[in-house]
Amino acid sequence: MKFHHIGIATKDIESLIKKLTKQLDIKKVSEIIYDSNQEANLCMLTTGDDLKIELISGKVVQNLVKKRQFLYHTCYLVKNIEQKIEELVSEGALLVREPREAVLFNNRKVAFLMWDLGLIEILETGEVYRP
């Protein structure tokens, strides 16, 4: 697995973009989209040193935001999502959300698992994301 991005829960994506742009070396900001498969509004930021930060708002993260728990997940690229899920589950991970297409990533499949690193998203490789 190769690290891809961190996911940050927020109540208001637009205001968080403004705050982060002031404090971090943000070079790219994608449009804010709604993904009905993920039940969330999403936006990807990329820093000058190529760190990707996904901002997530909506029902899927509202309880985390209420608790002020903003680090939502870390995401890793995998070649075969089904095979990686089997491998991680056999090592004790818990599948939280079955694979489904993600609009932000050109409809590549993502899945969420609770693992030793907390909640992780695995993203099936394909075309590299470019905001």
Domain at 2-124, CATH homologous superfamily? 2,3-Dihydroxybiphenyl 1,2-Dioxygenase, domain 1 (3.10.180.10)
Q: How far out from the chain centre does Cα 37 lie?
A: 13
Domain ranges of the chain: 2-124
Catalogue the E-assigned strands of 30-102: 33-35, 40-47, 52-57, 71-78, 94-102
* Predicted confidence (pLDDT) per residue in 62-76, tens digit: 999 999 999 999 999
Rg (C-alpha) for the chain, rounded Å, is: 14
Question: So what's the pLDDT on residue 46?
Answer: 97
Question: So what's the pLDDT on residue 38?
Answer: 85
pTM for the structure as a whole:
0.89
pLDDT along the chain (131 residues), means of 10: 96 96 95 92 96 96 94 95 96 96 92 96 72 43
> How far, in Å, are 57, 70, 108, 111 from residue 97 at the CA level?
17, 19, 15, 6
